[in-house]
Amino acid sequence: MQSSEIKSPRGTAVFLLLFGALVMAAGLPLRIWQQFHLVESQTGFWLPGASRATIILLYVILGVLIVVPFVAGVMQRKQLTLDIARRSRMAEGCAAIVAAVTIVVGVALALHFAISVFSGQATIEGLTPQSNNRVQFFIRSGAAAALLEAVFGLGAAIFFANLAFVNLFPSKQVYLNRLLAITPVLWVIARVLRRFSRTIAYLRISDLFLTLVALVLLMIFLLAFAQILAGVNNSGKEWRLAAAGIPAAVLLLLGFIPRVAAYWFGSNLIAPQDAAMELADPALAIFICIFLYERLLKLDKLDTPEELDEPEEPEQLQAGEA
Protein backbone atom coordinates (compact mmCIF):
# COMPACT_ATOMS: atom_id res chain seq x y z
CA MET A 1 0.00 0.00 0.00
CA GLN A 2 0.96 3.63 -0.49
CA SER A 3 0.25 6.59 1.77
CA SER A 4 0.67 10.27 1.13
CA GLU A 5 2.81 12.61 3.18
CA ILE A 6 1.90 16.19 2.45
CA LYS A 7 4.49 18.93 2.55
CA SER A 8 3.60 22.61 2.19
CA PRO A 9 6.54 24.72 1.03
CA ARG A 10 6.43 28.48 0.49
CA GLY A 11 8.17 28.26 -2.88
CA THR A 12 5.36 29.96 -4.80
CA ALA A 13 5.15 32.85 -2.33
CA VAL A 14 8.93 33.36 -2.39
CA PHE A 15 8.92 33.30 -6.20
CA LEU A 16 6.15 35.90 -6.34
CA LEU A 17 7.91 38.17 -3.85
CA LEU A 18 11.22 37.95 -5.70
CA PHE A 19 9.46 38.56 -8.99
CA GLY A 20 7.69 41.59 -7.54
CA ALA A 21 10.99 42.95 -6.20
CA LEU A 22 12.58 42.54 -9.64
CA VAL A 23 9.74 44.41 -11.34
CA MET A 24 9.98 47.17 -8.74
CA ALA A 25 13.70 47.50 -9.37
CA ALA A 26 13.05 47.86 -13.10
CA GLY A 27 9.89 49.96 -13.05
CA LEU A 28 10.28 52.34 -10.10
CA PRO A 29 13.26 54.41 -11.41
CA LEU A 30 11.54 54.66 -14.80
CA ARG A 31 8.28 55.78 -13.26
CA ILE A 32 9.96 58.36 -11.00
CA TRP A 33 11.74 59.82 -14.02
CA GLN A 34 8.46 59.95 -15.93
CA GLN A 35 6.73 61.64 -12.99
CA PHE A 36 9.28 64.47 -13.06
CA HIS A 37 9.60 64.91 -16.83
CA LEU A 38 6.62 63.47 -18.73
CA VAL A 39 3.57 63.96 -16.48
CA GLU A 40 1.50 67.14 -16.03
CA SER A 41 1.74 68.61 -12.56
CA GLN A 42 -1.95 68.84 -11.62
CA THR A 43 -3.83 66.43 -13.87
CA GLY A 44 -1.46 63.45 -13.82
CA PHE A 45 -1.82 63.14 -17.63
CA TRP A 46 1.05 62.53 -20.03
CA LEU A 47 2.47 65.78 -21.42
CA PRO A 48 1.74 66.40 -25.12
CA GLY A 49 4.59 64.91 -27.13
CA ALA A 50 5.86 62.77 -24.24
CA SER A 51 8.44 60.17 -25.22
CA ARG A 52 6.58 57.14 -26.51
CA ALA A 53 9.57 54.85 -26.04
CA THR A 54 9.56 55.14 -22.24
CA ILE A 55 5.76 54.91 -22.12
CA ILE A 56 5.79 51.70 -24.16
CA LEU A 57 8.58 50.35 -21.95
CA LEU A 58 6.50 51.05 -18.83
CA TYR A 59 3.49 49.26 -20.31
CA VAL A 60 5.65 46.27 -21.26
CA ILE A 61 6.89 46.06 -17.67
CA LEU A 62 3.31 46.27 -16.40
CA GLY A 63 2.23 43.57 -18.84
CA VAL A 64 4.92 41.22 -17.55
CA LEU A 65 3.98 42.12 -13.98
CA ILE A 66 0.37 41.04 -14.53
CA VAL A 67 0.84 38.06 -16.87
CA VAL A 68 3.56 36.11 -15.02
CA PRO A 69 1.73 35.78 -11.63
CA PHE A 70 -1.51 35.03 -13.46
CA VAL A 71 0.07 32.20 -15.46
CA ALA A 72 1.88 30.88 -12.37
CA GLY A 73 -1.37 30.95 -10.38
CA VAL A 74 -3.36 29.14 -13.07
CA MET A 75 -0.69 26.47 -13.53
CA GLN A 76 -0.65 25.74 -9.78
CA ARG A 77 -4.32 26.43 -9.00
CA LYS A 78 -4.97 22.85 -7.84
CA GLN A 79 -1.97 22.83 -5.50
CA LEU A 80 -2.17 26.24 -3.85
CA THR A 81 -3.70 26.52 -0.40
CA LEU A 82 -3.61 28.79 2.62
CA ASP A 83 -2.14 28.17 6.04
CA ILE A 84 -5.21 28.68 8.22
CA ALA A 85 -3.71 27.41 11.48
CA ARG A 86 -4.57 29.79 14.31
CA ARG A 87 -1.32 30.93 15.88
CA SER A 88 0.50 34.14 16.65
CA ARG A 89 1.52 35.99 13.48
CA MET A 90 3.30 39.10 14.66
CA ALA A 91 4.28 40.49 11.24
CA GLU A 92 0.85 40.00 9.71
CA GLY A 93 -0.86 41.42 12.77
CA CYS A 94 1.28 44.56 12.80
CA ALA A 95 0.76 45.02 9.03
CA ALA A 96 -3.01 44.72 9.55
CA ILE A 97 -2.89 47.38 12.30
CA VAL A 98 -1.00 49.78 10.01
CA ALA A 99 -3.49 49.09 7.22
CA ALA A 100 -6.41 49.82 9.56
CA VAL A 101 -4.88 53.11 10.78
CA THR A 102 -4.04 54.36 7.27
CA ILE A 103 -7.51 53.44 6.01
CA VAL A 104 -8.99 55.53 8.84
CA VAL A 105 -6.84 58.46 7.66
CA GLY A 106 -8.25 57.99 4.16
CA VAL A 107 -11.78 57.80 5.59
CA ALA A 108 -11.27 61.14 7.35
CA LEU A 109 -9.98 62.79 4.16
CA ALA A 110 -12.80 61.37 2.03
CA LEU A 111 -15.42 62.46 4.56
CA HIS A 112 -13.93 65.94 4.75
CA PHE A 113 -14.01 66.24 0.96
CA ALA A 114 -17.63 65.04 0.76
CA ILE A 115 -18.79 67.42 3.52
CA SER A 116 -16.90 70.33 1.91
CA VAL A 117 -18.67 69.74 -1.40
CA PHE A 118 -22.09 69.17 0.17
CA SER A 119 -21.76 72.37 2.21
CA GLY A 120 -20.48 74.42 -0.73
CA GLN A 121 -17.10 75.15 0.86
CA ALA A 122 -15.18 73.28 -1.85
CA THR A 123 -15.33 74.21 -5.52
CA ILE A 124 -14.67 71.73 -8.31
CA GLU A 125 -13.01 73.07 -11.44
CA GLY A 126 -15.36 72.93 -14.42
CA LEU A 127 -18.44 72.16 -12.28
CA THR A 128 -20.98 74.62 -10.94
CA PRO A 129 -23.75 73.48 -8.59
CA GLN A 130 -27.22 74.15 -10.00
CA SER A 131 -30.14 74.55 -7.60
CA ASN A 132 -32.29 72.30 -9.77
CA ASN A 133 -29.71 69.58 -10.33
CA ARG A 134 -27.58 69.31 -7.20
CA VAL A 135 -27.70 65.50 -7.16
CA GLN A 136 -25.91 65.32 -10.50
CA PHE A 137 -23.35 67.83 -9.22
CA PHE A 138 -22.65 65.72 -6.11
CA ILE A 139 -22.16 62.65 -8.32
CA ARG A 140 -19.97 64.32 -10.95
CA SER A 141 -17.87 66.09 -8.32
CA GLY A 142 -17.01 62.77 -6.66
CA ALA A 143 -18.59 63.79 -3.38
CA ALA A 144 -21.14 60.96 -3.43
CA ALA A 145 -18.42 58.39 -4.16
CA ALA A 146 -16.24 59.93 -1.44
CA LEU A 147 -19.09 59.49 1.05
CA LEU A 148 -19.39 55.81 0.08
CA GLU A 149 -15.62 55.51 0.36
CA ALA A 150 -15.78 56.86 3.91
CA VAL A 151 -18.61 54.52 4.96
CA PHE A 152 -17.12 51.34 3.53
CA GLY A 153 -13.61 52.43 4.52
CA LEU A 154 -14.69 52.52 8.14
CA GLY A 155 -15.90 48.93 7.82
CA ALA A 156 -12.63 47.96 6.13
CA ALA A 157 -10.63 49.53 8.96
CA ILE A 158 -12.65 47.58 11.53
CA PHE A 159 -12.07 44.40 9.53
CA PHE A 160 -8.28 44.85 9.45
CA ALA A 161 -8.24 45.76 13.14
CA ASN A 162 -10.18 42.56 13.87
CA LEU A 163 -7.76 40.59 11.70
CA ALA A 164 -4.81 42.09 13.58
CA PHE A 165 -6.32 41.13 16.95
CA VAL A 166 -6.87 37.53 15.80
CA ASN A 167 -3.27 37.28 14.59
CA LEU A 168 -1.69 38.87 17.64
CA PHE A 169 -3.85 37.09 20.23
CA PRO A 170 -4.78 33.70 18.77
CA SER A 171 -5.68 32.26 22.17
CA LYS A 172 -8.51 34.76 22.66
CA GLN A 173 -12.00 33.70 21.64
CA VAL A 174 -12.26 36.30 18.89
CA TYR A 175 -13.37 35.46 15.37
CA LEU A 176 -13.41 37.36 12.11
CA ASN A 177 -16.81 38.71 11.12
CA ARG A 178 -17.72 37.31 7.72
CA LEU A 179 -19.90 40.28 6.80
CA LEU A 180 -17.05 42.69 7.51
CA ALA A 181 -14.86 40.76 5.08
CA ILE A 182 -16.77 42.25 2.13
CA THR A 183 -16.32 45.88 3.24
CA PRO A 184 -12.73 46.20 1.92
CA VAL A 185 -14.02 45.13 -1.51
CA LEU A 186 -16.81 47.73 -1.39
CA TRP A 187 -14.30 50.33 -0.20
CA VAL A 188 -12.09 49.69 -3.24
CA ILE A 189 -15.11 49.87 -5.57
CA ALA A 190 -15.99 53.26 -4.06
CA ARG A 191 -12.42 54.43 -4.69
CA VAL A 192 -12.71 53.38 -8.34
CA LEU A 193 -16.03 55.23 -8.68
CA ARG A 194 -14.51 58.35 -7.17
CA ARG A 195 -11.72 58.36 -9.73
CA PHE A 196 -14.07 57.83 -12.65
CA SER A 197 -16.14 60.82 -11.52
CA ARG A 198 -13.42 63.21 -12.67
CA THR A 199 -12.90 64.32 -16.27
CA ILE A 200 -10.50 61.95 -18.01
CA ALA A 201 -8.38 62.44 -21.13
CA TYR A 202 -8.39 58.78 -22.11
CA LEU A 203 -5.57 59.11 -24.63
CA ARG A 204 -3.24 60.73 -22.09
CA ILE A 205 -4.08 59.17 -18.71
CA SER A 206 -1.01 58.18 -16.75
CA ASP A 207 -1.32 58.29 -12.95
CA LEU A 208 -5.02 57.50 -13.07
CA PHE A 209 -4.42 54.46 -15.27
CA LEU A 210 -1.91 52.97 -12.85
CA THR A 211 -4.23 53.68 -9.94
CA LEU A 212 -7.25 52.09 -11.57
CA VAL A 213 -5.36 48.93 -12.57
CA ALA A 214 -3.94 48.67 -9.04
CA LEU A 215 -7.40 49.06 -7.50
CA VAL A 216 -8.95 46.45 -9.80
CA LEU A 217 -6.23 43.92 -8.88
CA LEU A 218 -6.61 44.83 -5.21
CA MET A 219 -10.36 44.25 -5.51
CA ILE A 220 -9.74 40.77 -7.01
CA PHE A 221 -7.36 39.93 -4.16
CA LEU A 222 -9.73 41.16 -1.43
CA LEU A 223 -12.73 39.44 -3.01
CA ALA A 224 -10.93 36.08 -3.08
CA PHE A 225 -9.81 36.72 0.49
CA ALA A 226 -13.41 37.45 1.56
CA GLN A 227 -14.73 34.32 -0.18
CA ILE A 228 -12.14 32.10 1.51
CA LEU A 229 -12.78 33.69 4.89
CA ALA A 230 -16.57 33.46 4.61
CA GLY A 231 -16.53 29.99 3.03
CA VAL A 232 -18.74 31.18 0.16
CA ASN A 233 -17.87 29.66 -3.21
CA ASN A 234 -14.28 29.48 -1.96
CA SER A 235 -13.09 26.28 -3.60
CA GLY A 236 -9.82 26.86 -5.48
CA LYS A 237 -9.75 30.63 -4.96
CA GLU A 238 -6.20 30.65 -3.57
CA TRP A 239 -4.70 31.04 -7.04
CA ARG A 240 -6.44 34.42 -7.35
CA LEU A 241 -4.54 35.61 -4.29
CA ALA A 242 -1.31 34.66 -6.05
CA ALA A 243 -2.34 36.08 -9.44
CA ALA A 244 -3.61 39.44 -8.17
CA GLY A 245 -1.75 40.00 -4.90
CA ILE A 246 1.79 40.79 -6.02
CA PRO A 247 0.78 42.83 -9.12
CA ALA A 248 -1.57 44.85 -6.91
CA ALA A 249 1.14 45.46 -4.31
CA VAL A 250 3.71 46.53 -6.92
CA LEU A 251 1.28 48.85 -8.71
CA LEU A 252 0.17 50.45 -5.44
CA LEU A 253 3.81 51.28 -4.70
CA LEU A 254 4.49 52.40 -8.29
CA GLY A 255 1.61 54.83 -7.95
CA PHE A 256 2.49 56.07 -4.47
CA ILE A 257 6.28 56.46 -4.32
CA PRO A 258 6.77 58.55 -7.52
CA ARG A 259 3.96 60.88 -6.49
CA VAL A 260 5.50 61.42 -3.08
CA ALA A 261 8.90 62.05 -4.70
CA ALA A 262 7.36 64.59 -7.09
CA TYR A 263 5.46 66.26 -4.25
CA TRP A 264 8.48 66.68 -1.97
CA PHE A 265 11.37 67.14 -4.37
CA GLY A 266 9.95 68.65 -7.55
CA SER A 267 7.52 71.13 -9.00
CA ASN A 268 5.31 68.31 -10.29
CA LEU A 269 2.79 68.72 -7.48
CA ILE A 270 -0.34 66.70 -7.04
CA ALA A 271 -3.73 68.35 -6.76
CA PRO A 272 -4.78 68.44 -3.07
CA GLN A 273 -8.16 66.82 -3.82
CA ASP A 274 -6.48 63.88 -5.59
CA ALA A 275 -6.80 60.98 -3.13
CA ALA A 276 -4.50 58.71 -5.14
CA MET A 277 -1.61 59.53 -2.82
CA GLU A 278 -3.26 57.69 0.06
CA LEU A 279 -1.25 56.23 2.90
CA ALA A 280 -3.37 53.08 2.72
CA ASP A 281 -1.78 52.11 -0.61
CA PRO A 282 1.74 51.29 0.66
CA ALA A 283 0.27 49.87 3.87
CA LEU A 284 -1.90 47.44 1.90
CA ALA A 285 1.03 46.57 -0.37
CA ILE A 286 3.11 45.59 2.66
CA PHE A 287 0.20 43.64 4.15
CA ILE A 288 -0.26 41.67 0.92
CA CYS A 289 3.43 40.72 0.75
CA ILE A 290 3.52 39.58 4.38
CA PHE A 291 0.19 37.76 4.06
CA LEU A 292 1.29 35.83 0.96
CA TYR A 293 4.64 34.87 2.50
CA GLU A 294 3.09 33.62 5.74
CA ARG A 295 -0.04 32.03 4.31
CA LEU A 296 0.32 30.94 0.68
CA LEU A 297 1.46 27.33 0.42
CA LYS A 298 1.89 24.78 -2.35
CA LEU A 299 0.93 21.22 -1.54
CA ASP A 300 3.40 18.52 -2.63
CA LYS A 301 2.27 14.91 -2.27
CA LEU A 302 5.05 12.41 -1.74
CA ASP A 303 4.17 8.72 -1.84
CA THR A 304 5.93 6.73 0.85
CA PRO A 305 5.79 2.95 1.45
CA GLU A 306 3.71 1.81 4.40
CA GLU A 307 4.79 -0.77 6.95
CA LEU A 308 3.58 -4.14 5.68
CA ASP A 309 2.97 -5.62 9.14
CA GLU A 310 0.60 -2.83 10.21
CA PRO A 311 -3.08 -3.58 9.56
CA GLU A 312 -5.03 -1.02 7.56
CA GLU A 313 -8.04 0.32 9.45
CA PRO A 314 -9.22 3.37 7.52
CA GLU A 315 -12.69 3.42 9.09
CA GLN A 316 -11.29 3.46 12.66
CA LEU A 317 -8.84 6.20 11.75
CA GLN A 318 -11.56 8.37 10.30
CA ALA A 319 -13.75 7.82 13.35
CA GLY A 320 -10.89 8.67 15.66
CA GLU A 321 -10.12 11.89 13.75
CA ALA A 322 -13.75 12.85 13.84
pLDDT at residue 86 is higher than 80: no
Q: Quick one: what percent of the chain has pLDDT higher than 90?
A: 35
If phi > 0 it is left, if psi is from -120 to 50 it is alpha, else beta; for residue 127 that is: beta
Per-residue pLDDT band at 143 (split at 50, 70, 90)? confident
| Nearest Cα to Cα of residue 113 among 201, 195, 7, 21 | 195
- Residues 267-271: what's their mean pLDDT? 54
What is the predicted pLDDT for the residue at 270?
A: 54
Banded pLDDT at 238 (limits 50, 70, 90) = confident
Residue among 284, 246, 262, 315 at smallest CA distance from 98: 284
Comparing 313 with 224, which gets the higher pLDDT?
224
Q: What is the pLDDT of residue 95?
A: 95
- Is the per-residue pLDDT at 316 higher than 60? no
pLDDT at residue number 155: 93
- Higher-confidence residue of 43 and 269: namely 43
Instruction: Say yes or no to pLDDT of 12 above 70.
Output: yes
In whole angstroms, give the CA distance from residue 319 to residue 317: 5
Residue 188 has pLDDT above 90, yes or no: yes
Q: Tell me the whole-structure pTM to 2 decimals.
A: 0.83
Q: Quickly count: other Cβ atoms within 10 Å of residue 135's Cβ.
A: 9
Residue 276 has pLDDT above 80, yes or no: no
91 or 43, higher pLDDT: 91
Mean pLDDT to the nearest integer, 259-285: 71
Which of these ranges, 136-140, 208-212, 226-230, has the smallest mean pLDDT?
Answer: 136-140
142 torsion bin: left (phi>0), alpha (psi -120 to 50), beta (else):
left
Could you tell me which residues are beta bridge partners of residue 302? 5
* Residue 23 near residue 64, CB atoms below 8 Å: yes
For the segment 201-223, the average pLDDT, to the nearest whole number, is 85
